């Protein structure tokens, strides 16, 4: 079992990050290297400054707000929670005082961020079973949502255990010991491999690894191309 823990928590993590970074760079280069399409593709009427409107389009999803309000609430809840959880993970690597400008516990959200993300992902998943989204969806869409859901659920469970069930064995210090060792290229899983909840961490990291490796080759690249495309639409 220790070997499996090690493989998932160390080499697979490095592999996942390598594939993620190389994949994203490859996708960006692919776009950059292609010839530019010169004619305008803007929609009228235009509003200036276009780049500011494009940023708003990418961050606030006004078209979704206008046409599918329930989806908008879940999308915003998911993406805001995701951002906060991402910041929480940064704080699990090492202490980051710049993130503590507004003092908070690690993680923020009292455990509810994971819950919000889980519910949002279930909504995203099950809405794909209704026509016409059902006919539009391909297996990749379900697979990505399942991977994300499993990642979130196993990750959140560790947070929930500490906050809601007073499970004290794995604390921020243990996660920091593990994550900082990974980032310093001196990997050690000693701090996180002996707890009763270690398997939760291993499953969380396992699904996160798969998700990261899938990311650059999936439509998740919308997180990177979204602004550029909105800018093209804005002119």
Partner 1 sequence: MEKALREELISLFRGKLSGTMEMYLETCARCGICTEACHAYASMPLPKYTPAYRAEVVRRIYKKYFKWQGKTFPRIGECKVLDESAIDELKEAAYSCTGCRRCMVYCPFGIDTQQIMSIAKLLLVGAHAEPELLSLLADVSISKGESMDDLKEGFLEGVKSLESEVVEKWRQEAGRTPIPTEVVGADLLYVALAGAHSIIPAAAIFNAAGENWTLSFFEAVNFGAFVGDPSKTKIIMDRIVNEAKRLKVKEVCICECGTAFRVMSQLSGKQPFKVSSITRVHARYIKEGRIKVDKKKLSVPVTYHDPCQIARNAGVIDEPRYILSQLTDNFVEMSPEPKYNWCCGGGGGLVAMGEETLDFRMKSSRVKADQVRNTGAQVLATACENCHTQLSNINDHYKLGMNVQFLSSLIADALIR
- Catalog residues that contact partner 1 under the rule CB under 8 A: 27, 30-41, 43-46, 57, 61, 63-64, 67-68, 71, 131-141, 143, 217, 219, 221-222, 225-226, 228-230, 232-234
Of 115 and 143, CB closest to partner 1: 143
The Cβ of residue 201 has, within 10 Å, a number of other Cβ atoms equal to 24
Shortest distance (Å) from residue 156 CB to partner 1 = 23
- Residue 103 to residue 121: CA distance in whole angstroms: 29
Measured at the alpha carbon of residue 12, what is the angle toward residues 212 and 182, in degrees to the nearest 5?
95
Helices (H), 139-171: 139-164
Task: Please calculate the CA angle 140-141-142 and round it to the nearest 5 degrees.
Answer: 95
Nearer to partner 1, 139 or 168 (CB): 139
Beta carbon nearer to partner 1, 79 or 163: 79
CA 29 to chain CA mean position, Å: 22
Question: Would you say 147 or 158 has its CB closer to partner 1?
Answer: 147
Minimum distance, C-beta of residue 4 to partner 1, in the bound complex (Å): 24
What b/e readout covers 108-129, taking b as 16+ CB neighbours within 10 angstroms? bbebebbbbbbebbebbbeebe
User: Minimum Å distance from CB 81 to partner 1?
Assistant: 18
Least gap, CB of 150 to partner 1 (angstroms)? 17
């469970």: which residue's tokens? Answer: 157
Q: Which one, 108 or 229, has the nearer CB to partner 1? A: 229
Q: How far is the CB of 127 from partner 1 (least distance, A)?
A: 8
Return the number of the residue (4 or 52) whose C-beta is nearest partner 1: 52
Q: Which residue has the tokens 């990750």?
A: 155
Query: C-beta of 189: minimal distance to partner 1 in Å?
Result: 30
Q: Could you please report the per-residue DSSP string of 11-32?
A: HHHHHHHHHHHHHHHHHHHHHH
């Amino acid at each position: 079992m220790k070997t499996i823990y090690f493989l998932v928590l160390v080499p697979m993590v490095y592999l996942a990050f390598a594939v993620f970074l190389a994949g994203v760079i490859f996708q960006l280069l692919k776009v950059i290297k292609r010839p530019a399409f010169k004619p305008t593709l803007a929609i009228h009427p235009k509003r200036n400054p276009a780049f500011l409107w494009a940023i708003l389009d990418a961050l606030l999803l006004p078209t979704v707000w206008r046409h599918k309000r329930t989806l908008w609430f879940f999308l915003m809840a998911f993406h805001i929670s995701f951002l906060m959880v991402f910041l929480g993970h940064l704080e699990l690597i090492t202490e980051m005082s710049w993130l503590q400008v507004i003092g908070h516990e690690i993680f923020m959200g009292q455990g509810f961020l994971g819950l919000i993300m889980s519910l949002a992902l279930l909504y995203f998943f099950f809405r794909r079973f209704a026509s016409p989204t059902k006919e539009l969806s391909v297996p990749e869409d379900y697979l990505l949502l399942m991977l994300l859901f499993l990642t979130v659920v196993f990750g959140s469970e560790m947070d929930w255990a500490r906050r809601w069930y007073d499970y004290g064995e794995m604390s921020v210090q243990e996660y920091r010991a593990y994550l900082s060792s990974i980032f310093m290229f001196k990997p050690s899983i000693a701090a996180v491999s002996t707890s009763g909840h270690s398997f939760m961490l291993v499953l969380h990291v396992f699904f996160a690894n798969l998700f990261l490796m899938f990311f650059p080759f999936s439509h998740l690249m919308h997180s990177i191309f979204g602004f550029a495309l909105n800018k093209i639409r804005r002119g």
